[in-house]
Amino acid sequence: MFKIMSSEMIVPSEETPRHSLWLSNLDLVARRGHTGTVYFYRPDKSPSSDFSIIESLKTSLAKSLVPFYPLAGRLGVDKNGRIEINCTGEGVPFIVTRSDTTLDEFDNFEPSTEMRNLFVPTAAHPDPPCVLIMLQVTFFKCGGVALGTALHHTIVDARSAFNFIEAWTSIALGEAGCIKQPLLDRTLLRARVDRKVMFNPIEYMSDPKLVIPSRISTSYASSILKISKKHINGLKLRCGDTAGARVSAFRAITALVWRCFCMAQKLDINSKSRLYTMVDMRSRMCPPLPPTYFGNAVIRTSVSAVVGDVISGPISHVAKRLQGATNHGNDYTRSLIDYLETADMGNLPRRGLPASDLRVISWLGLPMYNADFGLGKPIFCAPALMYYSGYVCLMDSPGNDAGVSIVVALEPKSMPGFKELLCEELATLHA
């Protein structure tokens, strides 16, 4: 079904600095591996040839690797054994494949290992030395196109990744003057000389129950469920959204997802469930980091609750509990960075959750659908792979209807119940 047509290394179009780039503690605690994302494009009414598309993508990529030159390097290790980026300019793998399938055959795309293997390049390992970004363009027999990207999470968070894609797009469209130069200096998030740990970051502390082999090793089912703007407004109202107390779409939707998850998992109502999330701290630092900060500027945070309260209590109370997990600021982040300075990085929890817990991350508001490249805006964009059961990603739905897509991975036995419960809850909403 899929045939590799070419594979080459794209290097920066100009000479770039050669040096080592220090990584912050927030970089080092990120998941060690590449995050795969897939963009799908409908055939153009007056399509360009496959050759011209490829040449445009390669030429603009080479130019974008000049301001974003660390991506053309390799993950390395300094003399003390600390992970760093070796800015070597070696280049980025760029693969072209052709498929005898049509784009319509992937209308019901669901993240999985199979989808990742079809559309996104994979690395032999995620440890030094390894490439930092890999790209694949797939041409369908109907004229549609897919772009698969894989960026190493140790060096970028979601906002940084999409900022790069947006800059690459601007160059491809002949709008190089519009790109926002990335801020590459990670020392802005260096630990303080007089370290001061004022909080207890349990999300970064080793806990045997956070790694449950049975849940990590078992296969998961994934689905992408869409919520309309009307349902979001109704859900926010139910969560107490008023002129004097605003409730974000993230908190409202996450409260609903948490409730349906606890019921679908058939958790004991007297037990506890913990919900983990990630918070972008760029605007919350003092002074704030610019939106163009190129690195990991997100922190893990969480909140726990009695299952019976999540299931039976007012959903407004659940949304309010989430506020405590998402209101950290500069003091907490600086304290966390100081804590990580002396923590055993190799022994920190990085993946896996007990069956009672859930992790919800947000791609809401990120420029996912600005990835035009001259192909038109993508008709759909999604993670290529989920990492384990209990992993959820909220992202803007395609189009202009302001809806939200819930990408969820659960144990196969729990997924049907989760989807049914979510639909039932949405049916009771009135905007």
Enumerate the active-site residues. 153, 372
d(CA 24, CA 84): 9
Contact 85, 70 (CB under 8 A): yes
Give how far Cα 333 sits from Cα of 192, 265, 299, 361, Å.
11, 33, 7, 18
C-alpha closest to that of 405 among 246, 181, 228: 228
In degrees, to the nearest 5, what angle opens at C-alpha 148 toward C-alphas 142 and 149?
Answer: 160
Which stretch of DSSP H or E encloses residue 317?
A: helix 315-323
- 182: preceding bond cis by omega (within 30 degrees): no
Residue with tokens 């349906």: 260
The amino acid at 396: D
Structure tokens at 278: 């990630």
* DSSP string of 339-386, one letter each residue: HHHSS-GGGS--S---TT-EEEEE-TTS-GGG--TTS-S-SEEEES--
C-alpha closest to that of 92 among 116, 119, 123, 117: 123
Beta carbons within 8 Å of 54's beta carbon, 6+ residues apart = 6, 96, 137
**131 backbone dihedrals φ, ψ, rounded to 5°:** -70, 155
d(CA 130, CA 88): 12
d(CA 314, CA 309): 8
Residue with tokens 């759909």: 380
Please, which residues bridge with residue 299 across strands? 279
- In terms of Cβ atoms closer than 10 Å to its own Cβ (0-12, 13-18, 19+), residue 81 is exposed
In degrees, to the nearest 5, what angle opens at C-alpha 146 toward C-alphas 141 and 148?
Answer: 140
- Orientation of helix 50-64 relative to helix 158-172, angle to 10°: 120
In 142-226, alpha helices (H): 158-172, 213-217
